[in-house]
Structure 1
Amino acid sequence: MSQDKSQFDFNDRYGIKPARTWVRYAAVTAVLGAAWLLWAGLHHAQPALRSELISFITQDPRNPEIRYSIYREDGSQKVICTLAARDFDMNVVGQIEDTIEAGAKDVQRVISIPTRADAVNVGIERCRLIP
């Protein structure tokens, strides 16, 4: 009887294959994860309301001006934006709510914010849609 140089294996003799079921679960999880990541990226890349600070002027520190734009998907909705002016220590020294009526989808505004102390910067706190 000739001896084979390879090691004898009962799994080969009886046709037992090693279990690799984890590969299927890993593949399914990877496909679902990639699909969710793609959906989340595309869904949050185009929000219903976007606001952008264009510039601000603090020549009069008690009455700074802000220029900003908003874009809304549905022009029939009203938008309320909260604008705030801050001092050197980043304390809010003035805050107003600017109401933008229904109309154009893309709107630029220039608003003056009255303050109780000298302001050094102005920003958009948040904008929200009002149905």
Structure 2
Amino acid sequence: MSQGNNQFDFNDRYGVKPARAWVKYGVVCAIVGGAWLLWAGLHHSNPELRTELISFITQDPRNPEIRYSIQRASGDDVITCTLTARDFDMNVVGQVEDTIAAGETYLERTISIPTRADAVNAGIERCRVLP
């Protein structure tokens, strides 16, 4: 046998090919995962309803006021927001349901929450579109 520049390789001699079957599965997973990520990002970046707490005032601890904004996708939707007031130990001491009729798509509201004990803060628990 001559010893030329050719290197002897057992894989070539016995027909062993490199295992790259995982590449197909990896490409499929990347395509499916990328499509899901794109859908999730677009779907959740434009919610049907957005709320933002602007401020709350507790000058009267038995009757705090909350100011918040609501932006809805459709002006035809009727919305109910649950607003809560909490005491120093974070117990709910007052809760009110604020129903907003169909109309403008962007609103700012100021609501007073009657409480059973002194409140130190107030917030938006949740807002939902009524069926």
Same fold (TM over 0.5): yes
Where do 1:38-117 residues align within 5 Å? 38-117=38-117
State the 1:16 CA deviation: 4.8
Q: Which residue is 1:26 aligned to?
A: 26
Higher alpha-carbon deviation: 120-129 or 18-27: 18-27
State the 1:19 CA deviation: 2.6
State the 1:2 CA deviation: 1.1
Q: What secondary structure sits across from 2:23 in the alignment?
A: helix
Q: What secondary structure sits across from 2:25 in the alignment?
A: helix
State the 1:107 CA deviation: 0.9
State the 1:34 CA deviation: 1.7
C-alpha separation in 1, matches of 2:12 and 2:4: 14
Instruction: Show CA shifts across 1:65-122 (max 9, x none).
Output: 0000111101111000000000111111100000000000111100000111110000
State the 1:14 CA deviation: 6.0
- In structure 2, runs of 5+ residues without a counterpart are none
State the 1:6 CA deviation: 5.4
TM-score, normalised by the number of residues in structure 2: 0.91
State the 1:7 CA deviation: 4.9
TM-score, normalised by the number of residues in structure 1: 0.91
Corresponding pairs, count: 131
Code of the aligned partner of 1:38: L
The CA RMSD measured in Å over matched residues stands at: 1.7
C-alpha separation in 2, matches of 1:33 and 1:128: 30
